[in-house]
Amino acid sequence: MISGYAKNGRMEDALRLFNSIPENVSSSMKILSSSSKSEKLIAHLIRTNGLSKARAVLDIAELRNTSTWNSMINGYVKWREIATAWELFDEMPNRDVVLWNLIISGYVSCGGSKFLEEGKKLFDVMSERDCVLWNKMISGYAKNGRMEDMLRLFNSMPQWDVVSWNAIVSGFLQNRDMARAIDFFERMPERDCASLSALVCGLIQNGELDEAAIILVKFGNKYNGREDLVRAYNTLIAIRAR
């Protein structure tokens, strides 16, 4: 029944039935869960703050696939239970890039140099890294004010995408290094409206109104009419009108 409810998206019914089963009926639960799409039930339990129940579903499932493990680890990361996420990660027989990204992003997102360094250790031993993870590490260094480490990591990337450039420009802005933020923006081989809007808004927030106006005049025509850029124009006009 639990399998049927989960398969048909009736998560509340699946959860209600799951909760009604006595704790000592472990063998029956194995039979019920072995062929079910348990990752759906796990994901639902995580969304509704039922982390311990989600783990119970994982523990009794005889058939665990990558999605099931990833859902559970993502749940621990979401609720900042990083140590438990790591323990489960360490148990996994096979780890794909998605899972590595999950666990490293969890460490980086927690904030603080200690968690960042733990994330960097895992990052360093990965055999395969994608741009998403590189960008996450760059943002982590920026968040912790470690600008030279951020720049060193950026320069060591095998290739950059527009998100990489946006991340380092935003990092300089977060740490009030306006000169390097503008310099890296102007060096970008490819920009989008989000790049320009982020720079202009960052300059405004740091009180650099003249620089923001210069950047808008120099680069703004290409993105006329874009909503986020219009907001930047309006913000600059409103501040200057005060």
pTM summary value = 0.75
* pLDDT score of 33: 46
Q: Which residues of 116-144 are buried (b: 16+ CB within 10 A; e: fewer)?
A: bebbbebbeeeeebeeebbbbbbbbbbbb
State pLDDT tens for residues 108-136.
888 788 889 999 999 998 888 889 999 99
State pLDDT tens for residues 214-229.
998 888 777 665 776 7
Contact present, 92 and 69 (Cβ < 8 Å): yes
Out of 14-28, 56-70, 213-227, which region has the weakest mean confidence (pLDDT)?
14-28
Q: How far apart are CA 74 and CA 95, in angstroms?
A: 13
Domain extents for the chain?
A: 1-63, 82-128, 130-176, 191-242
Contacts of 27 (CB under 8 A, 6+ apart): none
